[in-house]
Structure 1
Amino acid sequence: MSDQRRPVLPMLGHVRGKRSAVTCALKCDNACLGEVCNESSNGYFRDVVAGELSRRSALGLGLAGALTLAFTGGQPAGRAEAALSSVGPSFAPAAPLPKAPNSKLDFTPIRPVDKLVDELTVPDGYAWRPIIRWGDGLFDDSPAFDLEHQTAAAQARQFGYNNDYTDIIELPGTAGKRAVLFTNHEYTNEGIMFSDAQAAADPAGTRAVARAAHGLSVVELERQNKNHAWTYVKGAPLNRRFLTDTVFEFTGPAAGSRLLTNPSDPKGREGRIVRGTLGNCAGGTTPWGTVLSGEENFNGYFRTAGTSKEDKRYGLANRATARVWELDEPRFDTRNVDYANESNRFGWIVEVDPLDPTSTPKKHTALGRFKHEGANVHIAANGRVVAYSGDDERFDYLYKFVSKGTYRPGTGAADREHNKTLLSEGNLYVARFAGNSPAAEIDGSGKLPTDGAFDGRGEWLPLVVDGTSAIPGMSVEQVLVFTRLAADLAGATKMDRCEDVEPHPVTGKVYVVCTNNSNRGVGANAAPDEANPRRQNRDGHIVEITEDGGDQTATTFGWNLLLVCGDPAKNQATYFAGYPADKVSPISCPDNVAFDSSGYMWLATDGAPSAIGYNDGLFRVTLEGPERGKVEQFLSVPRDAETCGPVVRDADRHVFVAVQHPGEEGTFAAPHSYFPDYVPAGAAGAAPVGADGAAPAGAVRAPRPSIVQVLPAVHAKK
């Protein structure tokens, strides 16, 4: 195989999905261009009718048993902060939100921003500033970022590339003045990271830099008080990078399985450890203060024989990978007998303890292996931990895990250590849905059926229950390592790319983001159905699930479509829960979800430029009351960028986003974006960009993925 200095971009000029050609090649290995991985004969939404109930019966059950869990006094506060205003330190029912909530985070929605604009746009009265950028040093010995002379050793001590899931977890006992920031580094774009000269002179070296730019980061933050902006603390004791050579430990029934074992494994730890984590996309923060990260597009990093049904079902093939890491490390080519099962060791939910820099991160086999977008945890009334996760692939599935053990709400170290074991054992389910409208009313146009809603019933089909496989002919280990094949046999419903899946911390309703599927109804592909009502669905939609009896461990549920996204000015096939379409911000390709303490849902988008011609952004959605379905745009990210990892602290009037792949479609020599430094041509120096034209310290005239904070302008410079 010849050496390659740049990733191959075979989709240029013929994108079939929502993303740019560059993003498709580097992020998801051209998943939309290749054959559909799921060739099972499972029914789609409209095909499943058994047990169907009417919409009014399904939704008339209410949600009296909805529960939530808040961090108690000694626990760190992260994303679960949204529950603090309504629930105490133990289990208690929460009433549905009765009306549109009030929020201190008041703003006038921005207008959509043209896709060629290279600016981060925020509402009047607000300002933004980066907290940390690609290449910023994390440790006392970290070298300064040198764009023209990057090394793997330097990158391993610096903040990684393409940050995705993000959370900020305040440290106990610091009065809100110190916190840790966690983020994923999903993938790299070597074409805009390296100059032609560096790539040509040292192709192996640039590949090593790219490997070091993957993984995860934990970074300590500090601020003067809750009004002020966070800054990161270089050399802080909790700072940590998780790299491709960091040791991870498997937990659960498949740990030690022959399916996870390589001949090269160290004696006594066969199939129980693995180096690194890859393709980390979204995630979730647990009530006990750890962070979950989903290994999504891992298949693009491995070359395999590509002949088995398992390889084909997971998109693994016998072809050179985009980054050709197999030239440097034989484990990325599973045709090497010593690494025959290496690809099976990716595609899991990872759990990291950001408060313990000596801890070993875990990969939980009990949650199954597929292209995890992420996982988000809710505590059921009986104390069991329930985790929801979507498989981000066309026509793949929605999953739920219910723990065997129960949560301990105490604040002691023993309670926390117990809770860190809860994702190691439990039951795994996959979803099947049924619509309740006549087939003739679902014609692909997106027109509402006569009952006034897209809705129906669903059930959770068992894959593993009480430590036993529910799939004839498959062992528990096989079900968990080849979960897609098990779900095929179970008869799960084929979905339109489930991305983030999050339970509301107050109502317990579950929101499933289906980002899009431009192949819906095309050729031999599945026709539109009630839960996927549009042909060639490029804009995506949101499914709202109400578990029966308000019990997250239930095996049946009701569902409806909250949003059918798009630009109403250009596309009449949109729906906003009955809210007037001419009064919403246009939104396309929803991806990540967050909730604030007032009960609003926030949606980050990925793919709007190609779908509706506007930059991606962050949007607030009203879920209850007369304005249910109202969508308001809060910010817009720069050219070619994706909005990721939203964190909304409405009580402080602060919003955080990860700005991923700015300037993705440019080149190193001709960037499409200069975010976030925006160094003017010819500028130099260490002062902030201003009237004198000087550049900020460490600034470069190039795009840098970054974590950004938005706050009232009056506080932004303090």
Structure 2
Amino acid sequence: MANPTPGRLLPLLSTPHKAGRSALTCQFRCGNACAHDVANTSENSYFGDVVKEALSRRGVLRAGALGALVVGAGVAGAVPALADDPVAETADAETLKGSGNIRFTPVPPNTDDALTVPEGYEQAVVVRWGDPVLPDAPAFDFANQSAEAQAKQFGYNCDYVTLLPMGKDRALLWVNHEYTDENLMFRGYTTGAAATEEQIKIALAAHGGSVVEIERAGKTGQWKLVTNGRRRYNRRVTAQTPMKFSGPAAGSDLLKTAADQAGLKPVGMLNNCSGGVTPWGTVLTAEENFDQYFVNGDKVPAAQKPYISRYTIPSGTPSGSRRFDRIEERFDLAKHPNEANRFGWIVEIDPFDPEGTPIKRTALGRFKHEAANTTLARDGRLVVYMGDDSRFEYIYKFVSKKRYIEGFDRHNRTLLDEGTLYVAKFTGDSPKEEIDGSGKLPSDGAFDGSGEWIPLVSGDESHVEGMTATEVLVYTRVAADKVGATKMDRPEDMERNPVNGAVYVALTNNTNRTAAQVDEANPRPSNKHGHILELVEKRDDAGATTFAWSLPLICGDPKDPATYFAGYDKTQVSPISCPDNVTFDRDGNLWIATDGNQLGSNDGMFVMPLKGKERGHLRQFLTVPVGAETCGPMVTEDQLSVFVAVQHPGEIDGATPDKPASRWPDGDQPRPSVAVSWHGKGKKIGS
């Protein structure tokens, strides 16, 4: 353990930490989704069921060949073309950036109640649950919380983190607040039905997101809150913040309610998980497990019931429900059946406009969004990559109709309202008998294949038989079912590498996959550790409709023959389980955050080079405290700092405020927090 804070790291007070998610996490984060039947009951093919021939190896690159390619440095939307023939580039592979510039001793797996970083590195909390955000916010008082105070303080369970520079040493930090765990927030909490009205109001205020101004601490890689001056950009967005719809579905009958008869003014955002940043500097934040906040899904009109079921809206009033309907009637679908349709969107927020109205962009579809990372196609159109984080769900992308024009802000802010929404269909290229569930590579030496982006809707034009454009956008899962999209293992974060141009997808896990459903892209039954998918679009063009893919990382214990680390020596790598979020440093190295480690140790953050001899050499950079999930993550452009959101520390079965399982970060009650790590001698992260 590096650089512990004296007097703050106390021993674990409850039962030993168990592998994987706790029952508390399952209840409060996603409404026990894994305990319910799989929502996707479509007959869509799995990879192994698809017979069609793989695409040409020249017109579409094999993603597995990326390890032998040389590309120049670039930024999102301006990545140089990859060669049609990767073999011609192998001679220069050792000159590639990101091919081994990682130099630190990996953090070993552990169950410590601490944020542990490598030797030579330091770490500190930047902002924690309850810290003042608005200038008139009171100091946090765990025993005397109020909704009025929480609406001005940093929210609960931080997730996606991004930095928007304001010069070299100042920046705005945007952070999502995914969900609340009332069992850890309040003493004596039992159920939503028995909660006080004030507790429910506090939970509503603790969702959403925060904008806080931060500054560099001296000339180091440490950052801290700006606590003096006006902090004029600081802002809280909550489940009660007025918003607006834009795009083709705005104003449709499916979005109208008694309180908003025009269908244009939704209120609040819920369960915001990952996100992205637009080229014009706004934040895209993704609503994920919104279904759990509603009650009486079985009492909607008969015509809506199939759609309610597809989005796993609960029937009646489940015992684990927060019962927001006790405070705001709109959460009762028996009375307001369209209210659920107003959640599950990508929300655009301008951090530099604290009075601006957040916008729910309907052209990007509605599902359990994970991520909204952007890039530019070769012709300048905006591209947004998105995953749907549930078992057997799909991977999507949106391509704008119009082109991005640098500096033309008014024009650029219309790009997310008109374009084509696609869903991915994959094909494996190996004989089915070679994918036997053991993890053994097929005879061609890689789990790989080809795929296509299937259009769902373009503006007001539906590409799905039997569905209008509005229905495709509001019931996107159903539309994807109809066009035969490929079922994936919980597709979470996906992001385009700024150096090699490939897109990387975190597939967290899927223990429901049976032996009969094993295929080349999901080569293990009961996939409890997850894997990373590498996707290369034709001609390295984000606007292309065909691609090649491979699996460079199949997670788990390196001693397990079913794991794969891009061919690297598995005796030299760190064990990893349940990849959740990904990011890149400027050299193109892949950084991975995990959620729900099934190997018996705390979750953490890892880095893996993608080029040259070091491709696949995965090393653990940090571990988070007991019961916590690793979120964020983000490496700054100067590579002097790495930010991580430590979500739900101490969320262990049986934990309560009177019997906390974690004391991180301050030695008393656990508080979800954003932390930063940096090299003690000012070196680049990873050096």
Q: For residue 689 of structure 1, what is the aligned residue in structure 2?
A: none
Query: What is the rounded CA distance, in whole Å, between the counterparts of 1:633 and 1:376 in structure 2?
Result: 24
- After TM superposition, give the deviation of residue 299 of structure 1 in Å: 0.2
The 1:255/1:379 distance shift into structure 2, 3 A limit, reads same
Residue 144 of structure 1: how far off its partner (Å): 1.1
Measure how far apart 1:581 and its partner are.
1.2
Q: Cα gap change, 1:664/1:381 in structure 2, threshold over 3 Å: closer, same or farther?
A: same
Identify which of 269, 272, 277 aligns with 2:269.
Answer: 277
CA deviation after TM superposition for structure 1 residue 110, in Å: 2.6
> Separation in 1 of the partners of 2:191 and 2:377?
52
1:43/1:301 CA distance change after superposition, 3 Å: same
The 3 A distance-change label for structure 1 pair 230 and 496 is same
How far apart, in 2, do the equivalents of 1:460 and 1:49 lie? 17
Q: Give the deviation of 1:416 after TM superposition.
A: 2.0
Match of 1:432 in 2: 425
Look up the match of 1:324. Answer: 323
Check conservation: 2:422, 2:455, Cα contact below 8 A.
yes
Deviant stretches of 4+, over 4 Å: 54-58, 60-63, 88-92, 94-97, 102-107, 197-202
1:445 alignment counterpart: 438
Report how far residue 454 of structure 1 moved. Answer: 0.3
CA drift of 1:297 comes to 0.2
2:27 corresponds to 1:25 = yes
SS of structure 2 residue aligned to 1:626: helix
Aligned with 1:478: secondary structure?
A: helix
Query: In the alignment, is the contact (CA less than 8 A) between 1:293 and 1:349 conserved in 2?
Result: yes
Deviation at 1:243, TM superposition (A): 1.2
Q: CA deviation at 1:228?
A: 4.7
Mean Cα deviation higher: 279-288 or 463-472: 463-472
Q: 1:576 to 1:105 in 2, by over 3 A?
A: closer
Q: Of the candidates 104, 107, 114, which is equivalent to residue 110 of structure 2?
A: 114
1:108-129 Cα distance to aligned partner (Å, 9 max, x none)? 23343333x2111101111110
- Tell me what 2:589 maps to: 600
> Is 1:382–2:379 an aligned residue pair?
yes
Q: Which residue of 2 aligns with 1:79?
A: none
Q: Which amino acid aligns with 2:29?
A: K
Count residues with an aligned counterpart. 644
Q: Distance in 2 between matches of 1:206 and 1:284?
A: 31
- Counterpart residue number, 2:632: 645
C-alpha separation between the residues in 2 aligned to 1:652 and 1:478?
A: 44
Partner of 2:517: 527
Residues 121, 254 of structure 1: CA spacing in aligned structure 2 closer, same or farther, 3 A cutoff?
same
Could you tell me whether the CA contact under 8 Å between 2:100 and 2:612 is conserved in 1? Answer: no
Matches of 2:672 and 2:317 in 1, distance apart?
Answer: 27
- Separation in structure 1 between the aligned mates of residue 355 and residue 101 of structure 2, nearest angstrom: 37
* TM-superposed deviation, 1:496: 0.6
Please state how far the C-alpha of 1:335 moved relative to its aligned partner. 0.6
Q: Distance in 2 between the 1:47 and 1:226 partners?
A: 56
- 105 and 319 in structure 1: CA distance in 2 versus 1, 3 angstrom threshold: farther
Deviation at 1:247, TM superposition (A): 1.0
- Normalising to structure 2: TM-score of the pair? 0.89
- Find out whether 1:181 has 2:173 as its counterpart: yes
CA distance in 2, matches of 1:616, 1:103: 25
Residue identity matched to 2:322: R
2:404 touches 2:412 (CA, 8 Å); kept in 1?
Answer: yes
Per-residue CA deviation, residues 613-633 of structure 1 (Å, 9 max, x unaligned), is 111001001111122111011
1:264 to 252, 256, 259: 259
Any idea what the Cα deviations from partners look like across 1:34-59, whole Å, max 9, x if unmatched?
01100000101111222424768853
Structure 2 residue aligned with 1:511: 504
Task: String of CA shifts for 1:331-366, please: whole Å, max 9, x gaps.
Answer: 011110xx2200000000111110111211111111
Determine if the alignment matches structure 1 residue 554 to structure 2 residue 551.
Answer: no
What are the residue-to-residue correspondences of 1:163-182 with 2, within 5 Å? 163-171=158-166, 174=167, 176-182=168-174
- Residues 61 and 547 in structure 2, CA contact (< 8 A), matched pair in contact too: no
Contact 1:17 1:538 in 2 (8 A): no
State the percentage of identical aligned residues: 51
Partner of 2:614: 627
Q: 1:367 aligns with which of 346, 364, 367?
A: 364
Cα pair distance change 1:98/1:363, threshold 3 Å: farther
1:541 maps to a residue whose letter is H
CA RMSD of aligned residues (A): 2.6
Q: 1:57 to 1:401 in 2, by over 3 A?
A: closer
Q: Which residue of 1 aligns with 2:675?
A: 708
* Aligned residues of 1:431 and 1:493 also touching (Cα < 8 A): yes
CA gap 1:674/1:218 in 2 versus in 1, 3 angstroms: same
CA–CA distance in structure 1, aligned partners of residues 162 and 439 of structure 2:
36
- TM-superposed deviation, 1:263: 2.1
**Per the alignment, do residues 534 and 55 of structure 1 end up closer, same or farther by CA in structure 2, a change over 3 Å counting?**
farther
Shift in CA distance, 385/56, structure 1 to aligned 2, threshold 3 Å? closer
Summarize the alignment of residues 1-12 of structure 1 with structure 2, pairs less than 5 Å apart.
Answer: none
**Tell me, what secondary structure is at the counterpart of 2:423?**
strand
Q: In the aligned structure 2, how far is the partner of 1:102 from the partner of 1:507?
A: 10
Q: How big is the shift at 1:467? A: 3.5
Separation in structure 2 between the aligned mates of residue 204 and residue 715 of structure 1, nearest angstrom: 49
Q: Which one of 639, 664, 667 corresponds to residue 656 of structure 2? A: 667
For 1:575, the equivalent position in structure 2 comes to 564
Contact 2:76/2:376, CA 8 A, preserved across alignment: no
Q: Deviations over 1:442-475 (max 9, x none)?
A: 1111111111100111011110136410111100
2:426 aligned with 1:472: no
- 1:283-362 residue pairs with structure 2 within 5 A? 283-306=275-298, 308-321=305-318, 322-336=321-335, 339-362=336-359
Residues 84-115 of structure 1, C-alpha deviations (whole Å, 9 max, x = no match): x9348994626689446369985423343333
Aligned in 2, Cα 1:649/1:56: closer, same or farther, shift over 3 Å? same
Tell me which amino acid in the other structure corresponds to 2:33. Answer: A
Q: Distance in 2 between matches of 1:535 and 1:642?
A: 24
| TM-score, normalization by structure 1 | 0.85
Preserved CA contact (<8 Å) 1:250 1:365: yes
Partner of 1:72: none
1:409-428 residue pairs with structure 2 within 5 A?
409-410=406-407, 415-428=408-421
Q: Please state whether the residue corresponding to 2:275 is helix, strand or coil.
A: strand
Query: CA shift at 1:555, angstroms?
Result: 1.0
Q: 1: CA distance between counterparts of 2:58 and 2:284?
A: 36
Task: Please tell me whether the aligned partners of residues 100 and 614 of structure 2 are also in contact (alpha carbons under 8 angstroms).
Answer: no
The answer to whether 1:150 aligns with 2:127 is no
Asked whether the 8 Å contact 1:430–1:492 carries over to 2, the reply is yes
Show CA shifts across 1:136-164 (max 9, x none).
Answer: 01122111111011111111110000000
2:9 maps to: none
Instruction: Tell me if structure 1 keeps the 8 A contact 2:586–2:639.
Output: no
For residues 42 and 89 of structure 1, what CA distance do their matches in structure 2 show?
Answer: 33
Rounded Cα–Cα distance in structure 2 between residues aligned with 1:237 and 1:590: 36
In the alignment, residue 24 of structure 1 is paired with which amino acid? C
Which deviations, in whole Å up to 9, do the C-alpha atoms of 1:415-461 show, x marking residues without a partner?
Answer: 12321221111001111111011111111111111111001110111
Q: Distance in 1 between matches of 2:296 and 2:344?
A: 15
- CA separation of 1:25 and 1:153: change in aligned 2, threshold 3 A: same
**Residue type of the partner of 2:110?**
D
The alpha-carbon deviation at position 537 of structure 1 amounts to 0.6
Alignment-derived partner of residue 161 in structure 1: 156
Give 1:715 shift: 6.6
Q: 1:466 to 1:156 in 2, by over 3 A?
A: closer
Amino acid aligned to 1:114? N
Asked if 1:123 corresponds to 2:113, the answer is: no
Report the Cα distance in structure 1 between the residues aligned to 2:76 and 2:488, rounded to whole angstroms.
36
Deviations 1:187-236 (A, max 9, x none): 01111111128999962111111111111100111225552521112440
